[in-house]
Amino acid sequence: MGGDYTVVGSRARRLDGPEKVTGKAVYLDDMQFKGMLHGAILQSPHAHARIKSIDTSAAEALPGVKAVLTAGNVPDTKYGVSPARYDENILAIDRVRYVGDEVAAVAAVDLETAHQALELIKVEYEPLPFVLDIDQATAEGAPQLHQEYLGNLTAEVHQEFGEVARGFAESDLIRTDTFVNKRQDGGFIEPPRSVAVHDLSGNLTLYSSTQVPHYVQRTIAMLTGLSVGKVRVVKPYVGGGFGPKASASPCDILSSLLSMKTGRPVKIAMSREQVFLHCRARHQFKHVMKTGYTKDGIIKALEHTCYLEGGAYSSFGIATVYYAGSLLAAPYRLPHMKYDGYRVYTNKPACGAQRGHGGVAARACFEQQMDLVAEELGMDPIELRLKNIMETGDVSCNDLSMSSLGMKECLEAVQGGSDWNAKKGKLPPGKGIGMAAGFFVSGAGYPIYRSETFHCTVTIKVQEDGGTVLVKTAAAEIGQGSDTTMAMIAAEAIGIPLEAVRLVSGDTDYGIDLGAYSSRTTLMTGHATREAGEQVKEMILTALAGELGVERERLDIKDGVVEIKGEAVDFGPLRTKYLKEHRGWGGMPSGDKLTFTEAARMAYLKLGTIVGTGKYKPPVLGGKFKGAAVGTSPAYGCSAQVAEVTVDLETGQVTVDNITDAHDCGQAINLTSVEAQMEGSVSMGLGEAMFEEVKFDDQGRVLNPSLGEYHIPTVLDMPRMRCIVVESGEPNGPFGAKEVGEGAIMPTIPAILNAVHDATGVTITELPITPERVLMALKQKKRDE
């Protein structure tokens, strides 16, 4: 539980706040480079076609065009996210596999010329038969996307934990339910953009609006042939990521190659339409869950099948298909679980990771079914959940270890916070209340490529004059607030106020950091920051102990002041020395306490520049079975939500009136940012529940590639949210902290679905919950009665 902290747990103003509210914050598109060229990418108009020929001569001849790339003059190295499925080419070789597949790229003196050049590239296609959904892709004789992965299967998973047959034999109530979500888009407001600068020394600096500078650095090095050390990736402020920016983009790769070819900075920016064509966002999942319960409501067994419609390339797909199964093993005690998962290629843009990676639709299906079970058993949904929840110390059937889990506290918090007992079952027709729970990892237990690498390293340098420290981390601030969180952790670890911390981040030159994904930064980079901070403090205090001639154990630093236990110590000579160095200055230390500034200055004079380093990688986690790594984490956050809705029984339109949300983040570092992540998660979950769906025509073209026709929630669509922060104190987290950024999305969709059921009696098993879908279900229910 909340420790005795000075900075941690407060409501700090974000370090980046003032720059962002004044428009001074620099994003990729705001950067200027002398002699910069503009790149553009030619994309396939066909869902599947053979490239018979490409003629770039007219484009090359256009004045102002500096380079044209096709598969013929770029490396044929395959790449992707997971090394086990490198299935992408830099530019299409012989074949395009979706509308939007990259075919050629140009760099020109301005964007207008670059676009003209694209129009001059003549590509002769021979259209091929294509598959747009799971049924088509898995049918016998279906056109195949990749010869290496036949059956159009990116990956399949078959796992059984415990003895499922026994579990069902012990069950009194067995239900089978299905659930389908829709392909989602990241909906970040800043489209991906990059500028690559290849210099005369052969170094490549890539500025990119990415979530993962480290992985981008590796991919670029692999594809360009440059050594990793010569590739530097710099992330300016980034306008949101949510998963789809968690791998190297065509902008990153092609701007790098174009800059190497032209010797000039090259910028490539995606249009909003291209964001939809590139996708890499949430898959479409089809879940079938057969679950057994005893008549007392104890879960006995789950048999689960899931199909993922994945698009033309793997992206994160292998991890996604594993997550879709493994993240059901908690937060309820589930002794027997069988999972069969299939990730299917289709001739559509590739899906990847998005907030709540792999687990969101699965969670919705499971939690919706749980409410239906509660109804059949005549049990309150919260009571049913309380009977089954895991507690701190529990380990799931697939070896996920709950080192802290405030699930019970979350359930009770939303029960009280929403006035559940007064509302459940007591609302008039058209009004409903529903709840759900969920959990998520605090950082993936393993990196995306197999490696014993540290997941992050952090350096803290004490400024030589002593007053401030500089934290250097390669972590990726993409809006979630990691810069401020790391500065707060550094301040707490050293014992200084937040104002004494400066921080730079998001640059591969600052160290290793796997980036902003899997809700890893607070726990992992937080550990490394804390370690670096404690090292700095130790160095300063050891030097100080020597100087003052006292035992090190008697010294501590708190809130910028040195605390000396026991009898008084004369630090007069030390202060005199400091004051002499600053003759004529204002604001000098005074009073009866030695300041951190004086101590740090003294330590520098003794030792030279004081630098602390921190590092983190999780211990060996998880079981030994195939896929055991996916779902492992040093810690798990969990949450519960209650949704209240109004359903217009004549049109079917659902309005979410209220959300009560409780999340166990272990220990809030910045309380305001914890709530902000909870609220943001709810809004993304609400969007997926209510509106969001990337739609395609029968030729595989996106029908709604705009923020006008792809509907993310506006301020008028968001209900009032009441956020309750639960702090269970995570032993594996820095100062007890764990995730909040993704676990908080887990209950949103099922809570809304369960509220709609409460309001209407209908069960919606396909997202989004459009008015039409609800009205048709209401009519069907009437016919059935």
Partner 1 sequence: MLLPRFSYHQPASVAEALEVLGQHGDQAAIIAGGTDLLVNMKHGKLAPRHLVGLEGIDGLEEIGADNGSLVVGPRLTASALAASGELSGAAQALALGAASLGSPQVRNRATVGGNVCTARPAADMCVPLLVLGAKALLAGPDGPRELPLDEFFLGPGQTAKKPGELLTGLSLPRPAEGSGAGYEKLGLRKALEIALVNVAAAIWLEPDGKTIKQAKVALGAVAPVPMLSPGAEAALTGQTAGEEAFAQAAEAAATDAKPISDHRGSAQYRREVVQVLTRRALGQAWQAALGQ
Partner 2 sequence: MDKMRIVLTVNGQDHELLAAPNRTLAQTLREDLELTGTKQGCEVGDCGSCTVLMDGEPVNSCLVLAVQASGKAITTIEGVAEGNQLHPVQDAMVEHGAVQCGFCTPGMVLSAVSLLDKVPDPGDGEIRQALSGNLCRCTGYQKIVEAVQDAASKMERS
Interaction site with partner 2 (CB under 8 A): 11, 13-14, 16-27, 29-30, 186-191, 237-240, 242, 271-272, 478-481, 670, 672-673, 675-676, 679-684, 706-708, 712-716, 718, 720-721
Judged by DSSP in three states, 117 sits in helix
| 781 lines the binding site for partner 1 (CB under 8 A) | no
CB of 263 to partner 2, least distance (A): 24
| 783 lines the binding site for partner 1 (CB under 8 A) | no
Could you say which of partner 1, partner 2, none residue 190 binds, taking C-beta under 5 to 8 angstroms by partner kind?
Answer: partner 2
Interface with partner 1 by CB under 8 A: which range of 41-49, 305-313, 485-493, 772-780?
772-780
Nearer to partner 1, 138 or 704 (CB): 704
| 703 lines the binding site for partner 1 (CB under 8 A) | yes
Nearer to partner 2, 25 or 372 (CB): 25
Interface with partner 1 by CB under 8 A: which range of 70-78, 210-218, 701-709, 721-729?
701-709
* Encoded amino acid at 566, one letter: G
CB of 29 to partner 2, least distance (A): 7
635 φ/ψ sector (left φ>0, alpha ψ -120 to 50, else beta): beta
Q: How many H-runs (helices) and E-runs (strands) does the chain carry?
A: 20, 25
Could you say which of partner 2, partner 1, none residue 13 binds, taking C-beta under 5 to 8 angstroms by partner kind?
Answer: partner 2
Nearer to partner 1, 516 or 775 (CB): 775
CB of 384 to partner 2, least distance (A): 28
CA-nearest of 198, 266, 269, 253 to 27 is 269
Q: Which distant-in-sequence residues (6+ apart) come within 8 Å of 441 by Cβ?
A: 518, 519, 520, 631, 632, 633, 635, 636, 739, 742
Whole-angstrom distance, CA of residue 573 vs CA of residue 588: 15
Residue 197 burial (10 A CB sphere; 0-12, 13-18, 19+): buried
CA dihedral over 715, 717, 719, 724, signed as positive or negative = negative
CB of 682 to partner 2, least distance (A): 5
Could you say which of partner 2, partner 1, none residue 703 binds, taking C-beta under 5 to 8 angstroms by partner kind?
Answer: partner 1
| 228 lines the binding site for partner 1 (CB under 8 A) | no
Strands 204-208 and 231-234 come out as parallel
| 711 lines the binding site for partner 1 (CB under 8 A) | yes
Q: Binding residue for partner 1 (CB under 8 A) from 201, 714, 782, 783?
A: 714
The residue written with tokens 């390293």 in the block is: 457
Could you say which of partner 2, partner 1, none residue 73 binds, taking C-beta under 5 to 8 angstroms by partner kind?
Answer: none
Judged by DSSP in three states, 380 sits in coil
Nearer to partner 2, 104 or 740 (CB): 740
CB of 711 to partner 2, least distance (A): 10
Q: Binding residue for partner 1 (CB under 8 A) from 451, 651, 699, 780?
A: 651
Interface with partner 1 by CB under 8 A: which range of 223-231, 311-319, 660-668, 702-710?
702-710
Whole-angstrom distance, CA of residue 130 vs CA of residue 150: 15
| 715 lines the binding site for partner 1 (CB under 8 A) | yes
- Whether omega before 331 lies within 30 degrees of 0, making that bond cis, reads yes
Nearer to partner 2, 459 or 480 (CB): 480
Q: Binding residue for partner 1 (CB under 8 A) from 716, 783, 784, 785?
A: 716
CA dihedral over 109, 110, 112, 114, signed as positive or negative = positive
Question: What order of strands is seen across the sheet that includes strand 122-127?
Answer: 95-96, 49-55, 122-127
Nearer to partner 1, 31 or 111 (CB): 111
Could you say which of partner 1, partner 2, none residue 538 binds, taking C-beta under 5 to 8 angstroms by partner kind?
Answer: none
Whole-angstrom distance, CA of residue 345 vs CA of residue 412: 43
Could you say which of partner 2, partner 1, none residue 187 binds, taking C-beta under 5 to 8 angstroms by partner kind?
Answer: partner 2
CB of 725 to partner 2, least distance (A): 13
Nearer to partner 1, 130 or 710 (CB): 710
Nearer to partner 1, 161 or 691 (CB): 691
| 701 lines the binding site for partner 1 (CB under 8 A) | no
| 111 lines the binding site for partner 1 (CB under 8 A) | yes
Nearer to partner 1, 166 or 779 (CB): 779
Whole-angstrom distance, CA of residue 187 vs CA of residue 684: 9
Interface with partner 1 by CB under 8 A: which range of 280-288, 418-426, 560-568, 711-719?
711-719
CB of 735 to partner 2, least distance (A): 19
Could you say which of partner 2, partner 1, none residue 239 binds, taking C-beta under 5 to 8 angstroms by partner kind?
Answer: partner 2
Angle between helices 596-607 and 572-581 (to 10 degrees): 80
Nearer to partner 2, 142 or 668 (CB): 668
CB of 484 to partner 2, least distance (A): 10
Could you say which of partner 2, partner 1, none residue 695 binds, taking C-beta under 5 to 8 angstroms by partner kind?
Answer: partner 1
Judged by DSSP in three states, 602 sits in helix
Nearer to partner 1, 471 or 690 (CB): 690
Could you say which of partner 2, partner 1, none residue 136 binds, taking C-beta under 5 to 8 angstroms by partner kind?
Answer: none
| Token pair listed for 699 | 């030729």
| 294 lines the binding site for partner 1 (CB under 8 A) | no
Looking at beta carbons, which pairs linking 543-546 to residues 24 or more positions away fall under 8 Å? 543/599, 543/602, 543/603, 543/606, 543/607, 544/594, 544/599, 544/602, 544/603, 546/606
CA-nearest of 247, 248, 246, 266 to 256 is 266
For 546-587, give the DSSP string.
HHHTS-GGGEEEETTEEEE-SS----HHHHHHHHHHTTT-SS
The residue written with tokens 């999305």 in the block is: 745
Could you say which of partner 1, partner 2, none residue 770 binds, taking C-beta under 5 to 8 angstroms by partner kind?
Answer: partner 1
Nearer to partner 2, 27 or 33 (CB): 27
In sequence order, the β-bridge partners of residue 237 are 27
Whole-angstrom distance, CA of residue 735 vs CA of residue 489: 8
* Encoded amino acid at 413, one letter: A
Half-sphere exposure of 719 (CA within 13 A, CB side): 24
| 588 lines the binding site for partner 1 (CB under 8 A) | no
Whole-angstrom distance, CA of residue 501 vs CA of residue 486: 10
Site for partner 1, rule CB under 8 A: 111-112, 115, 271, 650-651, 653, 690-691, 695, 703-704, 707-709, 711, 713-717, 768, 770-772, 775-776
